[in-house]
Amino acid sequence: MTTSTAPRSRWRASAAAGPWLGPALALILAVVIFPAAYMVWVSTREISGFGVDRGGAGLENYRRLLRFEAIGQVLTNTVVWVVGVVLLTVFISLGLAQFLDKAFPGRQLVRLAVIVPWAASVVMTSTVFVYGLDPFYGIINRFLVDLHVLSEPYGFTQRPVSAFLVSMGIAVFVSLPFTTYTLLAGLQAIPGDVLEAAQVDGAGPAAAYRRVVLPMLRPALAVATIINIINVFNSLPILRTVTGSLPGYDADTTTTLTFKFIQADRQIGTASALSVVNFVLVLTVIAVYLRVVRPMRED
């Protein structure tokens, strides 16, 4: 008897919630599900360089993507980009959050300062770095030359490897505020008596951090990492601003390559196929992350 009423009442509860959920669901359908489906649809069409649909193309767009000569390089870049930026960001943020968690005079001001790169537009931040690193009139280049670190200005943003590293630096810089604050919130949720208990049990600072603080930070770390993976994976503005004028594909990730397919090669179909691949890649990365690290478990 009980087994049959429980599902029914749950169903009834869901139905009752319908009117409240409806608008949100409609919105998600319109701005999330529909575009995603449309993207998949476009990736199977042959689209002229000027936007006219010339009919179905089957999997030709995907085949063309596989034949693309620099795809290996671009995928490698993408892995370096995502793993490098996310690891560095989380690592630095852990330290920063620990620091900001301590009470010291002027802490409010320091906390505010950490937010600044978050408040500024990413394109603006990147542009500031690009100008600063310009070999002709860049203030950072000038500074390094005046300090005799460099003998003459160096085109940091004009060579693929250094430009890619600069972009990674900027990406870390703009990802720090969010990550730090997420971790800081996590730290503040750890009750003081737990740490005291650890101390009483004879744990030193290192052991207390590793065996008590880190495990309790797990949910915050999970949120910070997943959101960073998604953000960094899809980050376009930094690379576009810093490496956009570089020739070839030595400093491209799959996201910037998508734009090159559209803007330089006018291959909308191939670009859509790459977007779908991008989408599947993120899905896989997140699924693997959740499976392996199991950040949501509650033991």
Partner 1 sequence: MRTTLRLAAVVTVSALAVTGCGFGGQGSSSSGDDAAQAGTTTLDLLVPSYSDATKANWEKVISGFQAQNKDVKVNLEVQSWDNINDVVRTKVQSNKAPDILNIDAFSGFAKDGLLYKATDVASPQTISDFQDSFKQNASIGSDMMAFPFIASTRALFYNKDLLEKAGVSAPPKTWDELLAAAKKVNALGGGVYGYGMPLGNEEAQAETSLWTFGNGGSWSDGDKITVTTPQNLEAVEYMQRMVQEKATQPNPGASDRTPMLNVFIQGKIAMAAGLPPILAQIKDKNPSLNLGTAPIPTKDGSPVTLGVADHLMAFQKDGSKKAAITKFVDYFFSKDVYSAWVAAEGFLPTTKSGAEQASSKPELKDFLTSLPTAKFYPSSNEAWSATQGALQSQIGQIAQGKSPKSVLDAVQAKADAAS
List residues binding partner 1 (CB under 8 A).
Answer: 28, 31-33, 35-36, 38-39, 47-53, 64, 69, 134-137, 153, 155, 157-160, 163, 226-227, 230, 233-234, 244-248, 260, 262-268, 275, 278-279, 282-283, 286-287, 290-291, 296-297
The three-point CA angle 109-181-183 to 5° equals 130
Q: How far is the CB of 1 from partner 1 (least distance, A)?
A: 23
The rounded distance, in Å, linking the Cα atoms of 114 and 160 is 29
Q: How far is the CB of 5 from partner 1 (least distance, A)?
A: 20
Residue 198 in tokens: 């650890």
Residue whose entry in the numeric block shows the structure tokens 């996590």:
186
Cα R_g (the chain), whole angstroms: 24
Q: Which residues does 177 contact at the CB level (< 8 Å), separation at least 6?
A: 114, 115, 116, 117, 118
CA distances 164 to 73, 137, 138, 153, Å, are 13, 21, 18, 18
Q: How far is the CB of 280 from partner 1 (least distance, A)?
A: 9
Q: How far is the CB of 84 from partner 1 (least distance, A)?
A: 20
Q: How far is the CB of 183 from partner 1 (least distance, A)?
A: 19
Q: Of the two residues 28 and 110, which places its CB atom closer to partner 1 in the complex?
A: 28
Q: How far is the CB of 107 from partner 1 (least distance, A)?
A: 33
Largest CA distance in the chain: 85
Residue 263 in tokens: 């803007």
Closest by CA to 182, choosing from 216, 213, 225, is: 225
